[in-house]
Amino acid sequence: MAKTYKQLMEEARQVIPEAPVEEVKTRLDRGEQWTLLDVRERDEYREGHLEGALSLPRGFLEIRVEETVPEKHTPIIAYCAGGVRSLMAARTLKEMGYENVMSMTGGYTAWKHAGYTWVADRQFTPEQITRYARHFTLPEVGETGQAKLLDAKVLCIGAGGLGSPVALYLAAAGVGTIGIIDHDVVDLSNLQRQILHTNDRVGMPKVKSAQQTLNALNPDVRVIGFNERLSSENVMRIITDFDVIVNGCDNFPTRYLINDACVMAKKPLVDGSIFQFEGQATVFSPGHGPCYRCLFPEPPPPGAAPSCAEAGVLGVLPGLVGCVQAVEAMKLILGIGRPLIGRMLHFDTLSAEVRMLKLRRDPNCVVCSDHPKITELIDYEEFCGLHTAKAA
């Protein structure tokens, strides 16, 4: 027999205890461990909710609750705007085996009227809600994670082969501030792999070209260009405002300089390098793993290592390595997963083999040990015999 709304409510009330907002407040203040479940729609939750409440809109309740609250004996207080949806939701939860479920009478409206504290998450624009929808669906990212990405500041060293995919993907993902340092102009020979730039921009400063591409991709992103050459004079000033540094510069002077600067400034450095058909990526995190000098204490003698221009590099390869760098930068910002600290991912494109190498910290490292020999930044140009530092 079909039941009326009134009958349904009465039935629910017989099995589900209801708690007025005053009681809920008292229980929470006492430190009782209740899981607060907000069953309103996402936009209602976004405008304001009880502190610590999990958002699980009524329409997704049955599908997602076991993911959100895995333990059936977890005590739950469900609430909605006025107390009706949450009563129905609580009944469903009970039927699903949740042992201790209450519904808050009067809902969020009554809570607010009582003058109790509530919190509002970051307010996303309708465009942002659509743009980052696939992030919002991931519990590990969600709106909180997206807010972290939008607040994050990542510096790309070089707008070349590695910097291109890094900056493009980070901008697409909504990393709010992207710094790019590069003193070069776009050259026709760059376009084989440096996908930030286009044919009509040959001769344009790479920083300007990068800005145009990234702004066109995502207007949420603020691009800060440094059209200058990285040196011991400017490196500390440039890296200081950034949370994560991504190295996309394939020459030894810059590699040593940026490593030392990041150790001294305690900034995580997402490192990548490419050579002909092979590439590798790792994360140097001061205090948590090795730095570049733990592996290679001193730069090679002048002329010992050929540059990209001399040795050649397969197009696409920097895309592979740069994408790993972009993923690692995002993991560091979001605080999820296991970063590539103390490990190096190595790709050989010809054999299609991928290896994971273990990297160890050198307790006597000249720069990151407890008693470092190097305490000042060094410009290695003259030692390496390089006069132009070009991005990979």
Q: Which residues contact Zn ion by CB under 5 A?
A: 291, 293-294, 365, 368
Rounded CA gap, 192 and 223, in Å? 24
Distance CA 24, CA 77 (A): 8
Q: How far is the CB of 271 from Zn ion (least distance, A)?
A: 12
Nearer to Zn ion, 135 or 293 (CB): 293
| DSSP-derived secondary structure for 364-377 | T-TTTSSS-S--S-
Nearer to Zn ion, 195 or 261 (CB): 261
DSSP 217-271: H-TTPEEEEE-S---TTTHHHHHTT-SEEEE-B-SHHHHHHHHHHHHHHT--EEE
Cross-sheet strand order for the sheet of 18-19: 18-19, 101-104, 76-79, 35-38, 54-55
Task: For Zn ion, give the closer residue by CB, 180 or 368.
Answer: 368
Q: Give the separation between CA 24 and CA 28, rounded to whole angstroms.
A: 6
The token pair that represents 305 in the structure block? 């290592």
Q: Which amino acid is at 16?
A: I
In the complex, what is the shortest distance from the CB of residue 285 to Zn ion, in angstroms, rounded to a whole number? 11
Strands (E), the chain: 18-19, 35-38, 54-55, 76-79, 101-104, 153-157, 177-181, 222-226, 244-247, 269-275, 278-284, 343-348, 353-358
CB nearer to Zn ion: give 186 or 291. 291
Residue 68 or 369 with smaller CB distance to Zn ion: 369
Q: Are 83 and 106 in contact (CB under 8 A)?
A: yes
- Positive or negative, the CA dihedral 179, 184, 186, 192 is negative
Q: How far is the CB of 294 from Zn ion (least distance, A)?
A: 3
Total Cβ atoms within 10 A of residue 248: 32
* Residue ranges with strand state E in 308-368: 343-348, 353-358
**219 Cβ neighbours under 8 A, 6+ residues apart:** none
CB 233, min distance to Zn ion, A = 23
Query: Whole-number minimum distance, CB 293 to Zn ion, in Å?
Result: 5
State the nearest-atom distance from the C-beta of 366 to Zn ion, in Å: 7
Instruction: Round to whole Å and give the CA distance between 174 and 191.
Output: 25
Q: 110 or 235, CB closer to Zn ion? A: 235
Q: Which is nearer to Zn ion, 156 or 368 (CB)?
A: 368
Strands 222-226 and 244-247: unpaired
Map residue 213 onto helix, strand or coil: helix
Q: Which is nearer to Zn ion, 131 or 293 (CB)?
A: 293
Q: Which is nearer to Zn ion, 174 or 290 (CB)?
A: 290
Closest distance of CB 290 from Zn ion, Å: 6
Distance of closest approach, residue 284 Cβ to Zn ion, in angstroms: 8
- Six token digits for residue 76: 């739950």
CB of 311 to Zn ion, least distance (A): 26
Nearer to Zn ion, 177 or 273 (CB): 273
CB of 372 to Zn ion, least distance (A): 8
